[in-house]
Amino acid sequence: MDWSTYYPKFVDSTTTGTPRQLVKDVTVADIGCGFGGLLMALSPLMPEELIIGMEIRLRVAEFVQQKISALRVQHKDDGLYQNIACLRANTMKFLPNFFKKSQLSKIFLCFPDPHFKARKHKARIVSTTLNSEYAFVVKPGGIIYTITDVEDLHVWMVQHFEKHPTFERLSKEEEDSDPSVKVMAIETEEGKKVERNEGQKFIACFKRLEDEPWI
Ligand code: SAM
């Protein structure tokens, strides 16, 4: 994966060759980032991390990348927003093409499409198979954050992550003390919409456990 065009300020100038290497890896992913509100909120809160938004709709992904470019120009003096980017991807098909094993420390799944009908459940971005892909790209100790306003989907996500041997749900106390949970709850476009409509938000976070030793 050539990340150099996404994070030009982080290209390692001491190396040559293609693709150009970065001085650090992308470690945070917002899957189905929509219009990128969470990316822009996380950028100043996690200045040491490289954060990627992944969005299946081409026009939306382009819009977010253009917005980030504009913010970078506006903030050229303080260097803000260099650590976020957005790419067009169908993560259900191609997530492991983008990351090495254990590369990520956080994945956000914010207000994923609910796909209400039973015959559409296979399109949900949480499933037994996809959870194994998340387990591959997230390092032990890393966290998957989920939030939705659809209780049925919340129950589905909790069931699928709890059933997976590599994940353990965080306690309410752990969730409450994690600043990323607070940001996720208020900064996405969908979250704001739910807030305006005085809807409920269901949050669940899951820690990626160490792998069992091979016998
Ligand atoms: N996370 C944003 C928020 O909370 O405001 C957007 C939520 S929106 C309901 C769900 C987003 O996921 C849409 O922008 C949709 O295009 C995107 N999406 C759906 N399936 C996807 C996939 N397979 N890969 C990447 N993005 C996907």
**Collapsed DSSP state (helix, strand, coil) of residue 13:** coil
CB 51 within 8 A of CB 28: yes
CA dihedral 87, 166, 182, 109 (to 10 degrees): 30
Q: Domains along the chain?
A: 22-208 (3.40.50.150)
From 125, 180, 186, mutation site for ligand 1 pocket: most ligand atoms within 8 A of C-beta: 125
Amino acid 37: pLDDT: 98
DSSP string, 28-76: EEEET-TT-HHHHHHHHH-TTSEEEEEES-HHHHHHHHHHHHHHHHHTT
Closest among 90, 51, 7 to 183, alpha carbons compared = 51
Closest among 147, 92, 87, 162 to 114, alpha carbons compared = 147
Amino acid 181: pLDDT: 97
Amino acid 16: pLDDT: 87
Amino acid 195: pLDDT: 95
CB 138 within 8 A of CB 183: no
State in Å: Cα 142 to ligand 1 middle: 21
Total Cβ atoms within 10 A of residue 30: 27
CB 37 within 8 A of CB 188: yes
Q: What is the CA radius of gyration of the chain?
A: 17
Amino acid 182: pLDDT: 96
Ligand 1 close to Cβ of residue 149 (< 6 A)? no
CB 177 within 8 A of CB 115: no
Amino acid 15: pLDDT: 86
Enter the tokens of residue 141. Answer: 């100790």
Ligand 1 close to Cβ of residue 146 (< 6 A)? no
CB 181 within 8 A of CB 143: no
Catalytic sites, residue numbers: 113
pTM for the predicted model, two decimal places: 0.97
Amino acid 5: pLDDT: 96
Closest among 39, 61, 60 to 51, alpha carbons compared = 39
Amino acid 77: pLDDT: 93
Question: Which atom of ligand 1 is least distant from the CA of 91?
Answer: 24
State in Å: Cα 32 to ligand 1 middle: 3
pLDDT digit of tens for each residue in the chain (215 aa)?
899 999 999 999 998 889 999 999 999 999 999 999 999 999 999 999 999 999 999 999 999 999 999 999 999 999 999 999 999 999 999 999 999 999 999 999 999 999 999 999 999 999 999 999 999 999 999 999 999 999 999 999 999 999 999 999 999 999 999 999 999 999 999 999 999 999 999 999 999 999 988 77
Question: Which atom of ligand 1 is least distant from the CA of 30?
Answer: 1
Distance (Å, rounded) from C-alpha 90 to C-alpha 55? 7
